[in-house]
Amino acid sequence: MKVSSNIGIINALIRITVGFTILAWSTSKLARRPWRDSYLVMAVIGAMKVGEGILRYCPVTALFEKGAEGNGGSGGFAGFKAKDMMNFKDMLKSDKSTDHKDHHPTNEHKQDPLDNTKKESNFNPEELTNKEVQAALNGDNIGDKG
Which of 13-17, 78-82, 122-126 bottoms out in mean pLDDT, i.e. has the lowest?
Answer: 78-82
Q: Please provide residue 77's backbone torsions phi and psi, each rounded to the nearest 5 degrees.
A: -100, 110
* pLDDT > 90: percent of the chain: 33
Domain ranges, ordered by start, for the chain: 7-65
Tell me what pLDDT residue 145 has: 47
| Longest CA–CA separation in the chain, Å | 71
Averaged pLDDT of the chain = 75
pLDDT by residue (tens digit) across 97-129? 555 545 555 455 455 555 555 545 576 777 778
CB atoms within 10 A of CB 48: 16
Pick the residue with more confidence: 51 or 75?
51
| Residue 64, pLDDT score | 86
Band (pLDDT 50/70/90 cuts) for residue 134 is: confident
pLDDT at 144 over 80: no
Is the pLDDT at 20 greater than 90, yes or no?
yes
Angle at the Cα of 49 from the Cα atoms of 66 and 52, rounded to 5 degrees: 50
What is the rounded distance in angstroms from the CA atom of residue 126 to the CA atom of residue 101?
A: 25
CA proximity to 5, closest of 69, 76, 54: 54
Predicted local confidence at residue 1, as pLDDT: 63
